[in-house]
Structure formats: structure tokens, C-alpha cells
């Protein structure tokens, strides 16, 4: 497979993945509109400690 064909294949895969994500978001949006109110998504900040804050905490305590 030459570079042009490989690049085209990778771009097609990326487009397909993007379309899958968009379709999933649209499907969830439709389901939410019909059903119960939206569930809050857990915050990324709540799940991942900031590395600088974690270091400061470790040093001061």
C-alpha cells in the first residue's frame, strides 16, 4: 500500500469514528429528550488530581 492509499485509509477510519461519535451523541440526546432528565456527567477534575496540587499536598503534609 503506498503512502497516499494509507493516508486515505487512515482518514476514512477517522471520519468513520467521528461519525460514530456524533451519531452516538445524537442518539443519547434524543433518548434524553424523551426520557428522564439528563444525568450529570462526573467531572474530569473530580476524577483526576492535579499533579501540582498533589505534589504540594504531599510536601506540606
Cα separation, 22 vs 35, in Å, equals 20
* Structure confidence at residue 18 as a pLDDT band (50, 70, 90): very high
Give the rounded percent of residues in the chain with a pLDDT score beyond 70. Answer: 52
Claim: this prediction has a pTM higher than 0.75: no
Average the pLDDT over 18-44 and give the result. 77
Q: Region 23-51: what's the mean pLDDT?
A: 69
> What residue segments make up the domains of the chain, in order of their start?
3-60
Residue 55, SS3 per DSSP: helix
pLDDT reported for residue 37? 60
Strands (E), the chain: none
Residue among 11, 41, 9 nearest 25 (CA)? 41
Q: What is the mean pLDDT of residues 52-59?
A: 56
Secondary structure (3-state) at 50:
coil
**Cα–Cα dist 45/23, whole Å:** 26
Amino acid at each position: 500500500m503506498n503512502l497516499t492509499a494509507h493516508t486515505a485509509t487512515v482518514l476514512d477510519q477517522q471520519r468513520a469514528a467521528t461519525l460514530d461519535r456524533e451519531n452516538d451523541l445524537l442518539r443519547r440526546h434524543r433518548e434524553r429528550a424523551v426520557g428522564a432528565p439528563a444525568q450529570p456527567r462526573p467531572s474530569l477534575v473530580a476524577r483526576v488530581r492535579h499533579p501540582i496540587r498533589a505534589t504540594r499536598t504531599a510536601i506540606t503534609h
